[in-house]
Amino acid sequence: MAKNMLDGAQVIVDYLIRQKVPYAFGLCGHGNIQFIDALYERAEDIKTISVHHETVAGFMADVYYRVSGQPTATFTSCGPGSANLPIALGNSFLDSVPFLAVTGNIPTSQFNRGAFQELYRHYQADFPSTVRAYCKRVFQPTRGEMVPLAMRQAWKTMVTGRPGPVVLDVPFDVFREAAAEETPKPEEWSANISCRCGADPEGVKQAVDMVLSAERPVILIGQGVKYGGAATDLKTLAEKLDIPVAWSASGAGGIDSSHRLALGLVARNGPYQANHAARQADVLLALGVRFDDRTSSSWLPGYSFTIPPTKLIHVDIDPDEIGRNYPVALGLMADVRTFLRQVLGELDARKDVRDKAAARAKWLDAIAGYRTEWESFIAPGFVDDGSPINPQRAAREIDAAMPADGILVSDIGVHHNWLIAFCKAKRPDSLIGSMGFGPMGFGVAGALGAKLAAPDRPCVSVCGDGAFFMHASVLGTAVEYAIPVVWVVWNNYAYASIRGLQRGYLNGRELATDFKHPGTGAPYNPDFAAMARSAGIDGVRIDRAADLGEAVRAGIATGRPYLIDAQISADRNPGGAGVWELPGLGQSQPAIGGRFQPSRG
């Protein structure tokens, strides 16, 4: 067909290229073959990665951004193809990660006729209702000429303010309808928009006053620090004032874990020094955190936080997160990096900054004592040589085998709880996990996105046996596109995190949480190493802790995809100084320390 104008699909692809999108991840269907055809035309400028499950495409796009800061796109067909995507959208939405999902829909001429794969019983071509709760915004152009506007608005919505995934839902005919002589120019519509807004200048002064007069200050960092590119300014501030820094799981790596001021994870399974300092703080400076239940010991006072009497300064780009779960002494809507720079500027104008830093010595001494208690509490787990492998030791062996620039992408499950407690993240992207939606498969597939984003850095996925089996199709994708990631399958023959809940809360009434052979009742799983080999990938099975680190190093060294089936015990859960409550079932007990009771007055 001769074309003298760009059609809808061409405009979308052209705009992606103008936005320097290097990859489109997706899966075909009749609803998107015309979009794929537009990708075909521009194959030199944008690479197409075809996966074996749409969710995988979304997870790859998600982690690609977490590593590179560059949003990418997915493409899925109408009906079931796109209905496989909401899990990935929800994951990115709750963790504030942008990607553009181009979903196909049925032809506009067939709206409301119940054509093949149309969701029509409530409203015509109703994919937007399916994903409404799962993404930042849905655009559905219904004529070719509407595509340029929808495309540039979709991109802008995705990347501005609090970022998040956006869906561009395109009916079949609209892909091929004439859309525009020219694609919109990013430099006119989104490239020159800054959302690095600062805080109210009066609020900055107030924050500085509060922090300088605090006796037991703690900084708590979340994802806003990592993705906001604020790690360097955070370190400068912490060092300048000698304030210890704790993190939510999403903030891990926002400061090097081995920094003298790094406290660790605040959570049920967080170390004593992090929880005990955070819950005793007189001023808590929270930067880009949400205070979800897992960070906050289910908001039960005295375990992770005691707000009030702790005075909370909460800084976030999204005012919806401020005052959601805790009362604020000072709430400031701002980009975290800009806020930190404002604070550093304000400190330059103050005279008494060094004296105040000296006054922190007593607080830091007390924290050093908590740290020593914690370290002797956890020491036995690191020398356990038992088989299957002690999970605490497994987390430490894997972490120690990661090179300084390595990227570990975790899946969801008990292994994630061990990893966030015991990995020592060095950089903002050393340890990547999903904290909001928590879909199984995130780490299985996400590691592929990490490797494409950082081809020179070793990328390791640590994933549960349950999740790996759910998304084992990634083996094929790694081979087809020569993506050398290492999977460490944390094999405990169970949906162990959930079985742990049955054991902890339901008197061990276990059902539907472990994998057993019907004949013998013995633990059952496929032979994952053999599965990998069947896909053309080297695979090994490891059942001794002492061999695990070496296996990870060897896997990385091959420079090819690699799988390690690690036999790991599920008999214990990572304990820490916090708790977690399942309303109606009760709450866990801290493994160390108790509930902090602030003294009155």
Ligand X SMILES: Cc1ncc(C[n+]2csc(CCOP(=O)(O)OP(=O)(O)O)c2C)c(N)n1
State the residues that interact with ligand X by CB under 6 A.
Answer: 412-415, 438-440, 464-467, 490, 492, 494-498
Q: Which amino acid is at 531?
A: M
Q: Using CB distances below 5 to 8 A depending on partner kind, what does residue 561 bind out of ligand X, Mg ion, none?
A: none
| Binding of Mg ion by 330 (CB under 5 A) | no
Q: Which of 304, 298, 246 is nearest to 275 (CA)?
A: 304
Q: Give the separation between CA 108 and CA 393, rounded to whole angstroms.
A: 57
**Contact residue for Mg ion among 464, 484, 574, 593 (CB under 5 A):** 464
Number of residues that bind Mg ion (CB under 5 A): 6
Q: Using CB distances below 5 to 8 A depending on partner kind, what does residue 467 bind out of ligand X, Mg ion, none?
A: ligand X
Q: 327 is written with which tokens?
A: 């009362």
Minimal distance, residue 600 CB to ligand X, in Å? 41
Q: Using CB distances below 5 to 8 A depending on partner kind, what does residue 231 bind out of ligand X, Mg ion, none?
A: none
Nearer to ligand X, 333 or 496 (CB): 496
Q: Give the separation between CA 535 and CA 531, rounded to whole angstroms.
A: 7
Tell me which DSSP letter residue 198 carries. P
Phi/psi for 4 (5° steps) reads -115, 5
Place of tokens 């963790």: 95
Q: Which amino acid is at 576?
A: G
How many Cα atoms sit within 13 Å of 369 on the Cβ side? 8
Minimal distance, residue 395 CB to ligand X, in Å? 11
Minimal distance, residue 520 CB to Mg ion, in Å? 19
Minimal distance, residue 439 CB to Mg ion, in Å? 15
Minimal distance, residue 515 CB to ligand X, in Å? 9
Q: Using CB distances below 5 to 8 A depending on partner kind, what does residue 439 bind out of Mg ion, ligand X, none?
A: ligand X
Greatest distance between any 2 Cα atoms in the chain:
81
Nearer to ligand X, 87 or 407 (CB): 87
Residue 324's CB: how many other CB atoms inside 10 A? Answer: 14
Q: 6 is written with which tokens?
A: 């760009």
Tell me which DSSP letter residue 95 carries. T
Q: Measured at CB, which residue is nearest to Mg ion?
A: 464
Nearer to ligand X, 255 or 566 (CB): 566
**Contact residue for Mg ion among 496, 529, 531, 545 (CB under 5 A):** 496
Q: Measured at CB, which residue is nearest to ligand X?
A: 464
Q: Which amino acid is at 119?
A: L
| Binding of Mg ion by 492 (CB under 5 A) | yes
549 in Cβ contact with 397 (< 8 Å):
yes
Nearer to Mg ion, 77 or 491 (CB): 491
Contacts of 272 (CB under 8 A, 6+ apart): 370, 371, 373, 374, 377, 576, 577, 592, 593
**Contact residue for Mg ion among 95, 126, 173, 465 (CB under 5 A):** 465
Binding part of the chain for Mg ion, among 168-176, 351-359, 494-502, 579-587 by CB under 5 A, reads 494-502
Q: Which of 252, 289, 288 is nearest to 269 (CA)?
A: 252
11 in Cβ contact with 179 (< 8 Å):
yes
59 in Cβ contact with 88 (< 8 Å):
yes
Place of tokens 């406290």: 263
Minimal distance, residue 518 CB to ligand X, in Å? 19
Nearer to Mg ion, 134 or 495 (CB): 495
Minimal distance, residue 444 CB to Mg ion, in Å? 12
Q: Which amino acid is at 281?
A: A
Minimal distance, residue 438 CB to ligand X, in Å? 5
Q: Using CB distances below 5 to 8 A depending on partner kind, what does residue 415 bind out of ligand X, Mg ion, none?
A: ligand X
Residues that bind Mg ion (CB under 5 A): 464-466, 492, 494, 496
